[in-house]
Amino acid sequence: MKTYDIVICGAGSAGFCAAVAAARQGAKTALIEKYNTPGGILTVLGNNSIDQFNNPFINDDKMIIKGIGWEFVKRLHKDGFANIPDMDAEYQCHNQYGVKVNPIAAAKIMDDMLIESGVDLYYGQPMVDASSTDNEIESVTISTKAGLRKVKAKIFIDCSGDGDLAEFAGAEFVKGDGEGTFQPGTLRFYPSVYVDSPIIGYGDNRNHIKLDTTDSDNITKAEIYARNLIYEQMKSGQRIMATAPAVAPREGRRIAGITQLSVKDYCEGTVFDDSVCYTYWFIDIHKDNEPTYIQYIKHDKTPTIRLSAMISKDFSNFMMAGRCISSDRETNSAIRVKASCMAMGEACGTAAAIAVKSNVHVADIDIIQLKNTLTNNGAIVPGVGRTLAYNDVIN
């Protein structure tokens, strides 16, 4: 049994940034990932666009997310593996501001940043169980080539997207719409054509695939159905070389937090005392055989993420970042995009490291210290000047 300060489950956009942030703050950190590659939907499941680092309706500096996620993008861009659009360009549609990256290069740079930060990596070793007491998670069990092993930590962070750790530990959560309906998934594919560019995106199978990411038997059926769809497209003449290894989900479990993000606060851009990062995307609920429900956010009041929505109400040492945080369904459909997940991950990992250093529960950390640390590390924090350290602002 290995013991860490912080264990993060899931190495997608949120988990990657959470692990780097925690380790850079000196916390002994482990990152557990079911795939053999970091990056989740960005690198493994085929959506290589990172949306959205800016709010185009702000009059001055339109960037609302930087920090570790933006550092990652700049490192890719330096070597020619990221296409960064003009963030100040006049708004035509939200998609125009997505940063397109090469998935192979993205995974490699994630590896580099994680290793440089001192994170212990457990790739291809999925979490399969958890042990908990009345108010704390004690350990998680992972499946390795040598059998099952336990990993202990002072703080656990669920970045699995689907909220798997909440299920294993017995924390409260809501699934899908609360009544058994989930947004459909998508199986993306590589077109069988040569493109003379280091940044090649997947094709997008627009056939919606019914998917319950909390039910393994349902996932099996969904994967078989998705391959049948691709096969029929190939028979009809579409040239397809390969698919992503799994259907990309849009929705899973939303873990109950100390507070819950609401669509009203999201649309109004409410800033709370414990708002620790920004988020920006439109409300985007996909449905089977129906038009997608969309509600655009087109004003300069940028929505925020609260720290208390990333702390489980059931366990004092359990946090979450990414699309499984505490939120209603409408808000969740907007905050699940990758740049927002990166910002959440960095804030969550930094908060966990401060809690370990201070020997307090995460809910009891000094929020000013957290905002100060995030700002000094290059992140953009709600209510904090963008060109001054937080200490300068509050003084």
18-50 pLDDT tens trace = 999 999 999 999 999 999 999 999 999 989 999
pLDDT at 62 over 90: yes
Is the pLDDT at 390 greater than 70? The verdict is no
CATH of domain 2-181+250-394: 3.50.50.60
How many angstroms separate the first and last alpha carbons of the chain? 46
At residue 207, the pLDDT reads 73
Question: In this predicted model, what pLDDT tens digit does every residue of 77-115 receive, in sequence order?
Answer: 999 999 999 999 999 999 999 999 999 999 999 999 999
pLDDT higher than 50, residue 387: no
Say if residues 328 and 277 touch (Cβ distance below 8 Å): no
Mean pLDDT computed over every residue of the chain: 93
pLDDT per residue as tens digits for the range 162-204: 999 999 999 999 999 999 899 999 999 887 766 667 776 677 6
Q: What residues does CATH 3.50.50.60 cover in the chain? A: 2-181+250-394
